Amino acid sequence: MESSSVDKLSALINELPKQPWYGADLYNWKGFWYRPHHLSSTMAASSNFQAKDDDVILTSSMKTGTTWMKAIIPTIMNPVGRTDDDSLDPLLKHHPNELIPSLEIQVYSVNPHPDLSNMVSPRLFRTHMAYPLLPESIKTSGCKIVYITRDPKDTFVSTCHFMNSVIAARGVEPWPMSEAFESFCKGVHTFGPFHDHVLGYWKESLKRPEKICFMRYEDMKKDPKGEVKKLACFLGRPFEKDQEVEKVVWRCSLERLKNLEMNQHGVDPWLGIDYKHYFRRGIVGDWKNHFTDEMKEKLEQLTAMKFEGSGLSLGY
């Protein structure tokens, strides 16, 4: 970026509301919280990305099951994903982050006008951007959006584990869960507020179900085959045989992915984080191992209040 643009960006960032989060500062841009290095790329992607009608865009707030979808969507879309030969599976050699690039963390992180002309269609992308911040062309073109969300109590616990691992690698002490919880309830966490993020996609999915497939982590855990079949139909890639669905579910399972060499020992080059941190327990209700009664009450009440009248519930 040219030095004048860098100066303008720094000036803009300095004007934005700021809050501490896991040993760094988050900045609020247009109602959502960002780390400074994601802010410039989010702004660039939001203004400059041109969607194509056959693109697939995976969207989510953080720690809601995105990595599972990052594995499943390419496996559904790539003909190799349905073949019997497991040795051809791209997941063997690539962490799911590499199969479906992030607009703000990868594609727009270095250059605000990246050359995407060599990408083969259908292109797959992901983003943690909230619905109002999405590039206009994603909203107006024929591309499909898959949104995944999760019980905010488990999302919060998953975020704590992940972020404490990230800061531990820099020698920073863990952030006490009680402080992180207050911050989460105020909506202060990267890409949050969680409830606003979910509601934006939920409301739009009700208006345009053919455009946005709204998925829940808990539904995936309960009936992975049924959910993957629905997703494949939504993406225009229905399965012919039951064995094909079983294969996709198995290839993308936590048990398999977390034990692959690449995911145990690789490092995410964009974030400098060990790939292993993307795979943890993957259960519904892990919050029960961490929450006090007061925390449960507070977050459930907040969720009920925020979602009131929307027809959405996420408590498990």
CA quadruple 247, 252, 256, 259: dihedral sign: positive
At its nearest, how many Å lie between ligand PAP and the CB of residue 285? Answer: 10
At its nearest, how many Å lie between ligand PAP and the CB of residue 226? Answer: 15
Which residues, in sequence order, are bridge partners of residue 127?
A: 59
- Whichever of 64 and 106 has its CB closer to ligand PAP, that residue is 64
Structure tokens at 130: 């909230």
Which residues, in sequence order, are bridge partners of residue 125?
A: 57
Q: How far apart are CA 66 and CA 161, in angstroms?
A: 16
- Whichever of 142 and 285 has its CB closer to ligand PAP, that residue is 285
- Which of 66, 149, 205, 263 forms a contact with ligand PAP (CB under 6 A)? 66
* Structure-derived torsion over alpha carbons of residues 288, 292, 293, 296, reported in degrees to the nearest 10: -60
Catalytic residue among 37, 38, 94, 128: 128
Q: Is 75 in the site for ligand PAP (CB under 6 A)?
A: no
In angstroms and rounded to an integer, the radius of gyration of the C-alpha atoms of the chain is: 19
- Whichever of 8 and 281 has its CB closer to ligand PAP, that residue is 281
Residues 215-274 touching ligand PAP, rule: CB under 6 A, are 252-254, 257
Residues 35-64 touching ligand PAP, rule: CB under 6 A, are 60, 62-64
Q: Which helix (H) or strand (E) holds 299?
A: helix 293-307
- Whichever of 54 and 268 has its CB closer to ligand PAP, that residue is 268
Q: How far apart are CA 214 and CA 197, in angstroms?
A: 12
At its nearest, how many Å lie between ligand PAP and the CB of residue 271? Answer: 9
Helix (H, G, I), strand (E, B) or coil at 285: coil
Q: How far apart are CA 102 and CA 192, in angstroms?
A: 17
Q: How far apart are CA 223 and CA 207, in angstroms?
A: 25
- Whichever of 226 and 236 has its CB closer to ligand PAP, that residue is 226
- Whichever of 104 and 154 has its CB closer to ligand PAP, that residue is 154
Q: How far apart are CA 148 and CA 143, in angstroms?
A: 17
Which residues, in sequence order, are bridge partners of residue 27?
A: 18, 34
Site string for ligand PAP, 76-115 (x = CB under 6 A): ----------------------------------------
128 is annotated as an active-site residue:
yes
Q: Is 161 in the site for ligand PAP (CB under 6 A)?
A: yes
- Whichever of 19 and 253 has its CB closer to ligand PAP, that residue is 253
The torsion region of residue 171 among left (phi > 0), alpha (psi -120 to 50) and beta comes to: left
Residues 115-154 touching ligand PAP, rule: CB under 6 A, are 154
At its nearest, how many Å lie between ligand PAP and the CB of residue 201? Answer: 14
The total of other beta-carbon atoms located within 10 Å of residue 44's CB is: 23
Q: Is 190 in the site for ligand PAP (CB under 6 A)?
A: no
Q: What is the 3-state secondary structure (H, E, C) of 214-239?
A: EEEHHHHHHCHHHHHHHHHHHCCCCC
Q: Is 158 in the site for ligand PAP (CB under 6 A)?
A: yes
Residues 270-299 touching ligand PAP, rule: CB under 6 A, are 278-282, 286
At its nearest, how many Å lie between ligand PAP and the CB of residue 102? Answer: 9
Half-sphere exposure of 137 (CA within 13 A, CB side): 12
At its nearest, how many Å lie between ligand PAP and the CB of residue 29? Answer: 19
Q: Which residues are catalytic, by number?
A: 128
Give the residues lining the site for ligand PAP (CB under 6 A).
60, 62-68, 71, 154, 158, 161, 252-254, 257, 278-282, 286
